[in-house]
């Protein structure tokens, strides 16, 4: 069975189209990931106490535990400045 020239062109263009769509998809994904990772890092803020009335009837028991730090937060960086509520952290 012999394929017509238009059928051969259609069959040849399908893999090429898939390849082009895949390459375009990879390009978009690479651009998106680059945009997400090229930031200046997180901006850290502090909280302040809002004055108010103490609520009556606090907890009956207070449990004291050993404080721990999550491994993702255990770093050598320190706070170098505190302007208003914004913190500046030392570089890594």
Is the C-alpha dihedral spanning 25, 29, 30, 32 positive or negative?
positive
Residue 62 lies in a domain: no
> Residue 91 and residue 74: Cα distance in Å, rounded?
15
Residue 14 lies in a domain: yes
Per the structure, the count of domains in the chain is 1
**Tokens representing residue 65 in the block:** 């535990």
Residue 15 lies in a domain: yes
pLDDT for res 62: 83
Is residue 1's pLDDT more than 60?
A: no
Tens of pLDDT, residue by residue over 17-73, are 788 888 888 888 887 777 666 566 777 788 888 888 877 887 788 889 998 888 877
Domain containing 20: what range?
5-51+68-89
Residue 12 lies in a domain: yes
Q: 89 versus 66: which is more confidently predicted?
A: 66
Q: Determine contact, residues 80/92, Cβ cutoff 8 Å.
A: no
Bridge partners for 89 per DSSP: 79
pLDDT for res 9: 60
Residue 58 lies in a domain: no
Which residue has tokens 């404080």? Answer: 67
């Amino acid at each position: 069975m012999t394929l017509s020239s238009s059928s051969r062109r259609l069959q040849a263009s399908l893999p090429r189209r898939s390849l082009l769509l895949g390459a375009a998809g990879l390009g978009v994904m690479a651009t998106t990931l680059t945009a997400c990772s090229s930031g200046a890092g997180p901006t850290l803020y502090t909280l302040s106490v809002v004055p108010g009335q103490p609520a009556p009837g606090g907890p009956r028991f207070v449990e004291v535990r050993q404080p721990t730090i999550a491994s993702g937060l255990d770093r050598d960086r320190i706070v170098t400045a505190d302007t208003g509520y914004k913190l500046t952290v030392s570089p890594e």
